[in-house]
Amino acid sequence: MKYQIAIGVDVGGSHITSAAVDLDEQKIIPGSIFTNKVDNKASQESIFKAWSNVINQTTKHTANPDQTRIGFAMPGPFNYKKGVGMFIGNNQKFESLYGLSISEELSKYLNSDKVDFRFLNDATAFGVGVASMGKAKNYSKVVAITLGTGFGSAFLQDGVPQVTADNVPKGGFIWDKPYKGGLGDDYFSTRWCVKRYKEITGKKTSGVKEIADANNDSSKMVFVEFGTNMAEFMLPFLIKYQPDLIILGGNVSKASKLFLPALKNKIEDAGLHVDFEISDVLEEAAIIGSAKLFDSYFWEQVRNTIY
């Protein structure tokens, strides 16, 4: 019996990466990973050409290139059930894809006669992926958080994302919840760190790594504030869900040693006992998580909760 293969695709704000995934082993097939830069402000043709260039290379590593199954880890706003982009307003990324059926339009650029598409929020895909690998496999209730250009979240139980349960926010999303006159996404991302460091020092930086490398009183202040704010914001959701593990991924999480102590302390002070893990496989996890949409058992568990 041939092992089952699906393509997992991770769409970022400035790049796309795809890989063929062995669904039985839940592992990426060696040599099948390809990546390409993408201008998210470009025309739909330019974006689809950049995406298809990568996917077509990966397709050659599947068992049947003429019949391809592709799971997409997509940032929002997006209609995941219909596969339609909802990107519009506020200088939004991928605005040229607004209202388009990705399945219908992207198929025109792919070298496969038949393509099946399924879509999942990128932070949810990361959560599904990390819950399938490493230490997270040993925990039942997991909260996965992505910290990068945006702030993503997923609540999982036994590897399955919880999106409509009474003890989780709708969709498992907290980026859009109010905090200090703004939204969570305004505070727990690269841009907040850059903005706050400039407010304190007057210096403009390129990103979180530069702030962390500065290793001065100002940078330490930024990260302590980041961790304290994050705990304050997340505590109501964590107390309600009672997770066994919180796993962090994304570029900001690479500076975890600077903000994690403040985050942990405030959560422990609230009486919540939870383990923490920092993941170094954000992209790989999202690819595996999105490809898993074609695992028949997993699909039956999630198909009616995707919207």
DSSP letters, the chain, are -PPPEEEEEEE-SSEEEEEEEETTTTEEPTT--EEEE--TTS-HHHHHHHHHHHHHHHHTTSS-TTEEEEEEEEPSSEETTTTEE---STT-TTGGGBT-BHHHHHHTTSS-SEEEEEEEEHHHHHHHHHTTSGGGGG-SEEEEEEESSSEEEEEEETTEE-SS-TTS-GGG--TTSEETTEEHHHHSSHHHHHHHHHHHHS---SSHHHHHHH-SHHHHHHHHHHHHHHHHHHHHHHHHH--SEEEEESGGGGGHHHHHHHHHHHHHHTT---EEEE-S-HHHHHHHHHHGGGSHHHHHHHTTT--
Q: Which residue has the higher pLDDT, 135 or 48?
A: 48
Percent of the chain with pLDDT over 70: 97
- The pLDDT of 267-289, averaged and rounded, is 91
Specify the pLDDT at position 2.
52
Superfamily of domain 5-122+284-302: ATPase, nucleotide binding domain (3.30.420.40)
Global pTM value: 0.90
- The pLDDT of 254-279, averaged and rounded, is 95
Q: What tens digit of pLDDT does each residue of 57-71 get?
A: 999 888 676 779 999
**Residue 157 scores a pLDDT above 90:** yes
Specify the pLDDT at position 1.
36
Task: State the pLDDT confidence band at 13, using cuts at 50, 70 and 90.
Answer: confident
Class at the top of the CATH hierarchy for domain 134-280: alpha beta
| Mean confidence (pLDDT) of the chain | 91
Question: Could you give the residue range(s) of every CATH 3.30.420.40 domain in the chain?
Answer: 5-122+284-302, 134-280
Q: Which range has highest mean pLDDT (10-19, 86-95, 241-250, 273-282)?
A: 241-250
- The pLDDT of 131-156, averaged and rounded, is 90
Task: State the pLDDT confidence band at 280, using cuts at 50, 70 and 90.
Answer: confident
Q: Which residue has the higher pLDDT, 283 or 203?
A: 203
Q: Which of 217, 221, 219, 231 is nearest to 270 (CA)?
A: 231
**Residue 32 scores a pLDDT above 90:** yes
**Residue 289 scores a pLDDT above 50:** yes
